[in-house]
């Protein structure tokens, strides 16, 4: 249980309250600190899986916690970016850009529920490679939106974050559909 990959996964979960606290009323300096912490947390997402595979330390606990850590972090950061204000006074994610944020949040809830339902039927739903790309694009999008808060005069950084958020939502719909299609086969 206390293998390095599992500890890295747990560190991602424990970092979420810190990210939320820092995003509560951020200044550009706070956004810079948040961005650094967010990058560290994102890098641990890569390394926990890499170390688990390379050292033969894949555990059921790690397989359980890794997607949960991702979902907790993505959901918390999205919610905070919808409520956090930039220097201009508007939320980081606002207007029509709330749509991809909602798509991402709803998919995570649906897939989590589907996994829980199928676990009762002894059906496993492993993470697909496309879902890993989806997570990566979500992390990049949210990172760019955070960095945009640290660099308020570089509007293109925020725009890259919003474009990436829409692309992540598109992948989110694709992977969500795939999981739903597989899950429906196992329902009565």
Query: Would you place residue 126 in the very low, low, confident or very high pLDDT band (cuts 50, 70, 90)?
Result: low
For residue 133, what are the contacts with CB-CB under 8 A and spacing of at least 6?
171
DSSP letters, 43-98, are HHHHHHHHHHHHTT---HHHHHHHHHHHHHHHHHHHHHHHH-B-TTSSBSS-GGGH
Interatomic CA distance for residues 93 and 165, integer angstroms: 10
The average confidence (pLDDT) of the chain is: 88
Which has the closest alpha carbon to 127: 108, 146, 140?
A: 108
Q: Please give the pLDDT value at position 67.
A: 82
Query: Would you place residue 108 in the very low, low, confident or very high pLDDT band (cuts 50, 70, 90)?
Result: confident
For residues 125-141, give the mean pLDDT.
85
**Biggest CA pair distance of the chain:** 55
Q: Please give the pLDDT value at position 188.
A: 64
DSSP structural state of residue 128: P
Q: Please give the pLDDT value at position 162.
A: 97
Q: Please give the pLDDT value at position 100.
A: 97
Interatomic CA distance for residues 153 and 172, integer angstroms: 30
Q: Please give the pLDDT value at position 103.
A: 96
Residue the block writes with tokens 């059921």: 60
Other Cβ atoms within 10 Å of 171 Cβ, number: 19
3-44 pLDDT, tens per residue?
A: 888 889 899 999 999 999 999 888 888 899 999 999 999 898
Tokens of 33: 């600190």
**What is the signed CA dihedral for 47, 49, 51, 53, rounded to 10 degrees?**
-150
For residues 40-61, give the mean pLDDT.
85
Phi-psi region at 50: left, alpha or beta (left = phi > 0; alpha = psi -120 to 50): alpha
Output 33 or 124, whichever has higher pLDDT.
Answer: 33
Query: Would you place residue 87 in the very low, low, confident or very high pLDDT band (cuts 50, 70, 90)?
Result: low
pTM of the model: 0.87
Interatomic CA distance for residues 17 and 119, integer angstroms: 29
For residue 94, what are the contacts with CB-CB under 8 A and spacing of at least 6?
82
């Amino acid at each position: 249980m206390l293998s390095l990959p599992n500890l890295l996964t747990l560190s991602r979960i424990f970092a979420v309250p810190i990210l939320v606290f820092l995003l509560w009323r951020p200044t550009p300096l706070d956004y810079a600190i948040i961005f650094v912490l967010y990058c560290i947390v994102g890098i641990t997402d890569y390394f926990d899986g890499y170390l688990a595979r390379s050292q033969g330390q894949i555990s059921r606990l790690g397989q359980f916690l890794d997607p949960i850590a991702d979902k907790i972090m993505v959901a918390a950061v999205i919610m905070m970016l919808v409520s956090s204000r930039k220097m201009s006074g508007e939320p980081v994610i606002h207007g029509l850009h709330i749509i991809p944020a909602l798509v991402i949040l709803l998919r995570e809830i649906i897939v989590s529920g589907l996994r829980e339902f199928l676990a009762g039927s002894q059906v496993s739903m492993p993470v697909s490679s496309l879902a890993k790309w989806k997570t990566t694009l979500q992390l990049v999008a949210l990172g760019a939106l955070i960095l945009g808060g640290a660099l308020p005069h570089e509007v293109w950084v925020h725009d890259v974050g919003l474009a990436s958020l829409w692309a992540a939502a598109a992948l989110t719909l694709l992977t969500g559909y795939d999981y739903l299609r597989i899950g429906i086969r196992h329902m009565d």
